């Protein structure tokens, strides 16, 4: 009885989820910048690449659903029409040229229909447009370090650690996602992010921007984004890197140009005094 009740409950939950998916309710419920309860689709996107990525994902889900339903229909037809009871004398058909041509060409066409938007999206992600700002992100076990180059008004670097005490979290910072020193960027600007790691493999990921790039020691990868909306966005290290892996969030604050200028001036003071900036000066001199 108990098992039946729980089965009934999971069936109800599943059908509710299916209905929600079909009606696109999950799309509306999806949080932007951070995950939200009962979210089933991707997070709301605030970059063009992110939106295209999310649309490509939806397109693939529908394509896969159509293929699954078609195969299921074929299976049902075969079970009903060609079972042993209805066909005591089995058919001896072995070949059907038209059918064989069809089941070769149709999958090829489906793959082409996937490949074209897929390569278009890859190109969009990998070809970085003229950048307004360059930021370097370095993955450490287990936190992120950010560096703003001197020739763009920066010339400082700082570490970004997860906030561990609940009392230190700001109202807009979820637990396990809030960072003490977030990355701050201006809205509507092309930000190029150079990504590397200092010890083991990490991955720099920001779901609402459609960004995910490996952080590999000894290698400088790059990605880019142009956030269209001011706000606070959260991501996480997305390459299993050790026992602190879930505790190295990425927090990006997208602010207006004036706010960014104010932050930059403040950050220059703050991080220069914290960091000693000796090593940075040396790096800049080289």
The contact set with Cu ion (CB under 5 A) reads 202, 237, 241, 245
In degrees and rounded to multiples of 5, residue 217 shows phi and psi of: -60, 135
CA-CA distance, 233 to 255, in Å (whole number)? 11
Minimum CB distance to Cu ion smaller for 142 or for 233: 142
Q: Using alpha carbons, list the distances in angstroms from residue 141 to 61, 160, 165, 258.
A: 36, 12, 20, 34
Q: How far is the CB of 241 from Cu ion (least distance, A)?
A: 3
Cβ-contact 232, 251 below 8 angstroms:
yes
Please give the angle made by the CA atoms of 110, 111 and 112, to the nearest 5 degrees. Answer: 90
Minimum CB distance to Cu ion smaller for 30 or for 213: 213
Minimum CB distance to Cu ion smaller for 54 or for 203: 203
Minimum CB distance to Cu ion smaller for 227 or for 237: 237
User: Could you check whether the bond before residue 199 is cis, i.e. omega within 30 degrees of 0?
Assistant: no
CA-CA distance, 8 to 107, in Å (whole number)? 38
Cβ-contact 122, 135 below 8 angstroms:
no
Neighbours of 279 (CB within 10 A): 10
From first CA to last CA, the distance across the chain in angstroms is 74
Minimum CB distance to Cu ion smaller for 47 or for 203: 203
Cβ-contact 224, 128 below 8 angstroms:
yes
Q: How far is the CB of 122 from Cu ion (least distance, A)?
A: 24
Q: How far is the CB of 281 from Cu ion (least distance, A)?
A: 31
Minimum CB distance to Cu ion smaller for 247 or for 263: 247
Q: How far is the CB of 248 from Cu ion (least distance, A)?
A: 6
């Amino acid at each position: 009885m108990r098992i039946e009740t729980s089965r009934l409950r999971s069936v109800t939950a599943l059908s509710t989820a299916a209905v929600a998916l079909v009606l696109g309710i999950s799309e509306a419920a999806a949080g932007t910048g951070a995950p939200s309860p009962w979210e089933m689709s991707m997070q709301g996107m605030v970059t063009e690449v992110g939106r295209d990525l999310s649309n490509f994902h939806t397109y693939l889900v529908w394509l896969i659903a159509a293929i699954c339903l078609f195969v299921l229909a074929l299976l049902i037809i075969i079970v009903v029409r060609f079972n042993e009871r209805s066909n005591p004398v089995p058919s001896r058909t072995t070949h059907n040229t038209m059918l064989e041509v069809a089941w070769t060409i149709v999958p090829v066409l489906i793959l082409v229909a996937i490949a074209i938007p897929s390569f278009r999206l890859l190109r969009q992600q990998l070809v970085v447009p003229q950048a307004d700002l360059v930021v370097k992100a370095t993955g450490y076990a287990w936190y992120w370090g950010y560096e703003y180059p001197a020739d763009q008004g920066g010339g400082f670097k700082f570490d970004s650690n997860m906030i561990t005490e609940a009392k230190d979290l700001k109202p807009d910072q979820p637990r396990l996602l809030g960072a003490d020193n977030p990355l701050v960027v201006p809205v509507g600007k092309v930000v190029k992010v150079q990504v590397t790691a200092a010890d083991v493999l990490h991955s720099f990921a920001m779901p609402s921007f459609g960004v995910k790039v490996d952080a590999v020691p000894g290698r400088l990868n790059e990605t880019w984004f142009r956030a269209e909306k001011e706000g606070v966005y959260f991501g996480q290290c997305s390459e299993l890197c050790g026992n602190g892996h879930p505790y190295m969030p990425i927090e990006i604050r997208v602010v207006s140009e004036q706010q960014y200028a104010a932050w930059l001036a403040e950050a220059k003071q703050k991080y220069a005094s914290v960091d000693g900036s000796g090593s940075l000066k040396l790096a800049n001199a080289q």
